[in-house]
Chains A and B, each alone.
Chain A
Amino acid sequence: MKIISTLPLSVAAALMLTTSALAQTPGKEGVAAARTTNGVANWTTYNADLKGSRYSPLDQINPDNFKDLEIAWRFKTDILGSRPEYKLESTPLAVDGVIYTTGGTRRAVVALNGATGELLWQYAMHEGKRSAESPRALSGRGLSYWTDGTRRRILYVTIGYRLVSLDADTGRPDPDFGTNGVVDLKTDFDQDLGDLDTGEVGVHSAPAVSGNTIIIGAAFREGFTPKTHNNTKGYVRAFDVRTGKRMWTFHTVPKKGEFGYETWLNNSADVNGNTGVWTQVSVDEDLGLAYLAVESPTSDFFGGKRPGPNLFGNSLVAVDLKTGERRWHFQLIHHEIWDLDNSSAPLLMDVTVDGKPRKVVGLPSKQGFFYVFDRATGVPVWPIKETKVAKGNVPGEWYSPTQPIPSKPPVYARNGVEEKDLIDFTPDMKKKALELTSNYVLGPVYTPPIVSTPEKFGVINNWAQGGTNWPGGSFDPETGIAYVYACGACISSTGLLPPPAGLSDIPLVVGVAGQPVVMIKGPGEGAGADSPAPSTPVGASSGPPRLAVDGLPLVKPPYGTISAIDVNNGTIKWQVAHGETPDFVRNHPVIKAMGGIPRTGQSTYQIGTLVTKGLVIAGENQFTRTEDRPRGAMLRAYDKQSGKEVGAVFMPSTQSGSPMTYMVNGKQYIIVPTSGGNASGEFLAYALPSKR
C-alpha cells in the first residue's frame, strides 16, 4: 500500500470514501444497458487513433446536411468538482455506444449514454493539497481506453499526477493495477521530487496506450517566471497496462554518459528541468515507435543557466515502444528561448512524395512551420536548412548561431511581427501602429528576447500562444492532407527583468521595465477543485501597454486560420480565416466606413479540428452577435477539397476543446467541448434531426 503510506491520513481516508461511494453509482447495469454494437462507430483514443489524425470515415453528417444539425443532448460538468470549470478541454471517447470523458475542476471521469447523455457512472479522486498544488489543474484533455477483448479499462492521470486504471463497465479502480488501481507518477521517476504534495509535475494530456504499453508525459508551471532553473525534469515513462509496472524511462534531459549530455555545456543538464512532453504522444504500432514532441527546458525566455543546444529540448524524438530507446531525433529549435515549445501531437501520415509511397511524421508548431520527416529514419522529407539567425544581447544568454528552417511546406502562420504585419486599414492607423511599436522590437521568426527597458519594453511576437498550440492538427489518411488551425494574432510583448528576491533563482524572467516583476500563472493553476492553494502575496504589474490601435488588433488579419497542407507535395492547398469577425472589429466605425472587411477569423489558441469523410469541422472560441443570430458561437464545416464553408450551426457557448464524432444505433453524433465567458463547461452533442 505504497500510495496510502505516502499520503496524509486524511487523503487516504478521502480515497477510501471515494471508493466506497462508488458502490452507490449506477455502475455495471448502466453501462451494460447503454452498450451496443448496433450501428456503432467508435472513437477510442484522444486523437481518434494513435497516429493523431482526428479523422473518422463517417459520412452521415456531410456537406449537404451539416447545416441541419441540432443539439441532441448536453452534459454540464459543473457538478464534477467543488466549483464550475470555465476551461473544458477534454475530447471524449466513444466505445460501443458509451461516452467516456474527464470533466470538471475535479477532473472526474464519467461514463455517459452516447445516445442520450445520461450519466452511467462517475469516478473522482480527492487528492487534497496535492491537487491544490498541481501545476496542471482542471479537467485535462481526456483519457484512454484499453481492452484485451475481455478486460476493458479507462486510464487517466489525476490532477495530482496519479495514473488510474478503471473498469470501463463499473468505474471502479482495477485492483490488479498498481496499488488498488493507482500508480503514483511522482515516484519511481529517476529523480527525487521531495515532498510528493508539492513536487512540481502534472499533465493535461491523455495517456497513449498501445498494446501493453501506456506512455505518460509530464508538464509543469508555465515557464515565464519559474521558481528555479533546476525544476523537475520531464522524463517520459511507459507502464504495463495490466499491472502498472514501469517498463521504461526516457530521459528527455540526458544523464551523464547518455547521448546528448554534452549538448548542455558546463554539465548544465544536471541543474535544469522541464523538457517534458505535455502534448499527446503518437505511436506507429507497425514500426514499434512512439513519437515524443518534447518541450523547452527551463525557462521559456532565458537559457543562460543552460548553455548549449540542450537536447532533447524542442526535439521530435522517436523511441522504441517496447524499450524506450531512442531510434532517432531531430531538434527543431536549438537552445529554445521563445516559448515556441513543441505543442502538437505528431501526425503519422502515409503519403506519396515524388511518386514514392512514404511513411512520414508531420509536426505543426507554434512558429508556423510544418516539419515533415521520414518516420522510420528521421530524415527530413524536404530539406530543413540550418539558417543563420540574429544573436541577442541579453547578459548571460547563450545563442545558437543557426536554426533549422523547413524549405517545404511554406510557413502556414504568422511567425514574426514586422512592419508589414501591422494594421493598415487606414494610413492613420498604420501611423499609430508605428508609433506604438517604436517602444518595442519587431522582427522575423527567432528574433531573440531582450532585457526590458523604458525605451524598448520587449519584443512583439506571436510566440507563447501563437500558431498551433495544444489542440494540434488533424489529417485525412486517405489523401495525405493535414488540416491545421493556427492563431495569427495571439501576440504579446516579451521582455526580461531580474526577479525580486525570493521569486526565482534565474537571473532574468519575464517583466516590463518600470513595473514590479510578478509570478505569472499557467493554465488552470490555482483553479482546480481543491484550490485555494496557499497564496503568495504579490504586487501587480501592469504588463506592457495594450497592443491595439483605436481598439483594433495591432496586427493585420487573418487573426486565425485553418490551413490544408498537402503533405504529398509540401504545398498549402487552401487556407481560410476561421471564425466570425469579432464584434468589436466588425462594428468598428472605421471598418463600417470601409464597407466591411472579409472575415478575419479569431485570435485564440483553443481550436482543434475534426476531419470526416467529406468535412473539416471546427467551432469558434469567441462569442459574437450578428444581424441574424443572437450572441453565441458557430460550429463550422468546410469542404475538405476546397476549404469552402458548407454549413455552420449555432452553439450557445464557445468551443474550448477539440470535437470528435461517433455513431450509435446508426446515428452519427458530433460532440463539442464548450466553455468560456459566463458559460461553464458543457459537452454539446449534435446530430441530424430524426424527422425532416
Chain B
Amino acid sequence: MKIALPLLIAFGLAGAAVAQDAGKSVWQGIYTSEQADRGAGVYAQRCGACHGAALNGTGEAPPLIGGEFVSHWDTMTVGDLYDRVRTTMPQNDPMSMTREEYADVLAFLLKNNGFPAGSQPMDKRSEVLATIGITAEKPASSGG
C-alpha cells in the first residue's frame, strides 16, 4: 500500500520502543488482509464522505492516517479505538453498523497506517480488543 510507506519509514526504523508488558500488540498481525479489503468497501460507503477516500480528512473531520493520528492513539488499546468508532461513528448515525463491519473498518485503518496483517481476523469483542496495545513505534522484538 503506497500510502503507508512514509509511516513505515518513520516508525519501522525507530529502534527500541516501549512494548506492552503483557497481551498483544497491534504490530503482531491482528487482522487479515481480507478483513481490511472488506473494510475498504465499508469505509468508502460510510466514512469516506467526511474523512476522505484517502483518509486525509476534510473540513472538521480529522485525517485517519499519518503520524498525528497514530500518535493520538499511542499506548491506548485497539478496544479503545474500536469503541470510539463504534459508539460515535458515523457521526450522524453512530452504532448503525454491525460489530463485524466496525472491525473491518478498523482493519482497513490499521492497514493504511502500516500495521501488518496476520492470519487471524480481528476479534469483534471490545473486551478482547482492549487487550491489544497500540504503540506508534514498532517494537524491536516484533516480527511484522
Partners in one complex: yes
Query: Could you tell me which A residues sit within 8 Å of B by CB distance?
Result: 83-84, 86, 222, 224, 515, 518-527, 531-533, 535, 538-546, 548-552, 582-585, 587-589, 592, 603, 622-625, 630-631, 676-678
In the complex, are the beta carbons of B91 and A540 less than 8 A apart? no
Using A552-B67, A584-B68 as known contacts, list a sample of 9 further A-B pairs with CB atoms less than 8 Å apart, ordered by residue number in A.
A84-B88, A551-B7, A551-B10, A583-B67, A583-B74, A587-B137, A622-B72, A625-B75, A678-B81
Q: Mark the stretch among B43-51, B97-105, B121-129 that contacts chain A.
A: B43-51
Q: Mark the stretch among B19-27, B28-36, B58-66 that contacts chain A.
A: B58-66
In the complex, are the beta carbons of A538 and B93 less than 8 A apart? no
Q: Using A583-B136, A584-B136, A631-B76 as known contacts, say yes or no to A522 and B71 having CB atoms under 8 A apart.
A: no
Picked from A524, A531, A677, the residue with its CB within 8 Å of the CB of B73 is: A677
Q: Give 29 pairs: A residue, B residue, CB < 8 Å, sorted on A.
A: A518-B58, A521-B58, A521-B60, A522-B59, A523-B60, A531-B91, A533-B92, A539-B49, A540-B53, A541-B52, A542-B53, A542-B54, A543-B53, A548-B66, A550-B10, A551-B9, A551-B10, A582-B71, A583-B74, A584-B11, A584-B136, A585-B67, A587-B137, A588-B14, A603-B68, A622-B72, A625-B74, A676-B72, A677-B84
Please give, as numbers and ranges, the residues of chain B lying within 8 Å of A86 by CB-CB distance: 88
Picked from B11, B56, B75, B80, the residue with its CB within 8 Å of the CB of A630 is: B75
In the complex, are the beta carbons of A542 and B81 less than 8 A apart? no
Picked from A84, A525, A533, A548, the residue with its CB within 8 Å of the CB of B6 is: A548
Across the two chains, which residue of chain A brings its CB closest to B87?
A: A83
Please give, as numbers and ranges, the residues of chain B lying within 8 Å of A83 by CB-CB distance: 87-88, 94
Q: Please indicate which of the listed interface residues A518, A540, A548 has the most CB atoms of chain B within 10 Å of its own CB.
A: A540
Distance of A362 from chain B, by nearest CB (Å): 28
In the complex, are the beta carbons of A551 and B75 less than 8 A apart? no
In the complex, are the beta carbons of B68 and A532 less than 8 A apart? no
Please give, as numbers and ranges, the residues of chain B lying within 8 Å of A546 by CB-CB distance: 3, 6, 54, 56, 63, 65-66
Q: Using A521-B59, A526-B91, A540-B49 as known contacts, say yes or no to A631 and B75 having CB atoms under 8 A apart.
A: yes
Tell me, yes or no, whether B70 is within 8 Å of chain A by CB. Answer: yes
Distance of A278 from chain B, by nearest CB (Å): 14
Q: Please indicate which of the listed interface residues A515, A535, A548 has the most CB atoms of chain B within 10 Å of its own CB.
A: A548
Picked from B61, B67, B81, the residue with its CB within 8 Å of the CB of A584 is: B67
In the complex, are the beta carbons of B49 and A518 less than 8 A apart? yes
How many of B's residues come within 8 Å of A, CB to CB?
46
Distance of A12 from chain B, by nearest CB (Å): 25
For the complex of A and B, the 3 pairs showing the least CB-CB separation, nearest first, are: A584-B67, A540-B48, A526-B92
In the complex, are the beta carbons of B93 and A535 less than 8 A apart? yes
CA distance A585 to B6 in the complex (A): 12
Across the two chains, which residue of chain A brings its CB closest to B70?
A: A584
Across the two chains, which residue of chain A brings its CB closest to B65?
A: A546
In the complex, are the beta carbons of B71 and A622 less than 8 A apart? yes
Query: Could you tell me which B residues sit within 8 Å of A by CB distance?
Result: 3, 6-7, 9-11, 13-14, 44, 47-50, 52-54, 56-61, 63, 65-68, 70-76, 80-81, 83-84, 87-88, 91-94, 136-137
Please give, as numbers and ranges, the residues of chain A lying within 8 Å of B136 by CB-CB distance: 583-584, 587
CA distance A540 to B13 in the complex (A): 33
In the complex, are the beta carbons of B75 and A538 less than 8 A apart? no
Q: Using A535-B92, A540-B44, A541-B53 as known contacts, say yes or no to A623 and B6 having CB atoms under 8 A apart.
A: no
In the complex, are the beta carbons of B49 and A582 less than 8 A apart? no
Across the two chains, which residue of chain A brings its CB closest to B54?
A: A542
Distance of B135 from chain A, by nearest CB (Å): 10
Distance of A586 from chain B, by nearest CB (Å): 9
Distance of B42 from chain A, by nearest CB (Å): 12
Picked from B14, B44, B50, B87, the residue with its CB within 8 Å of the CB of A521 is: B50
Please give, as numbers and ranges, the residues of chain A lying within 8 Å of B56 by CB-CB distance: 542-546
Distance of B58 from chain A, by nearest CB (Å): 5
Please give, as numbers and ranges, the residues of chain B lying within 8 Å of A527 by CB-CB distance: 91-92
Please give, as numbers and ranges, the residues of chain B lying within 8 Å of A548 by CB-CB distance: 6, 66-67
Q: Please indicate which of the listed interface residues B50, B53, B61, B68 has the most CB atoms of chain A within 10 Å of its own CB.
A: B68
Distance of A86 from chain B, by nearest CB (Å): 7
CA distance A532 to B88 in the complex (A): 11
Across the two chains, which residue of chain A brings its CB closest to B45?
A: A540
In the complex, are the beta carbons of B71 and A584 less than 8 A apart? yes
CA distance A254 to B9 in the complex (A): 56
Please give, as numbers and ranges, the residues of chain B lying within 8 Å of A523 by CB-CB distance: 60
Distance of A306 from chain B, by nearest CB (Å): 22
Q: Using A533-B92, A535-B93 as known contacts, say yes or no to A589 and B59 having CB atoms under 8 A apart.
A: no
CA distance A14 to B130 in the complex (A): 39
CA distance A532 to B92 in the complex (A): 4
CA distance A527 to B60 in the complex (A): 11
In the complex, are the beta carbons of B58 and A587 less than 8 A apart? no
Distance of B29 from chain A, by nearest CB (Å): 22
Across the two chains, which residue of chain A brings its CB closest to B63?
A: A546
In the complex, are the beta carbons of A543 and B58 less than 8 A apart? yes
Across the two chains, which residue of chain A brings its CB closest to B77?
A: A678
Please give, as numbers and ranges, the residues of chain A lying within 8 Å of B53 by CB-CB distance: 515, 540-543
Distance of A557 from chain B, by nearest CB (Å): 14
In the complex, are the beta carbons of A551 and B6 less than 8 A apart? yes
In the complex, are the beta carbons of A551 and B66 less than 8 A apart? yes
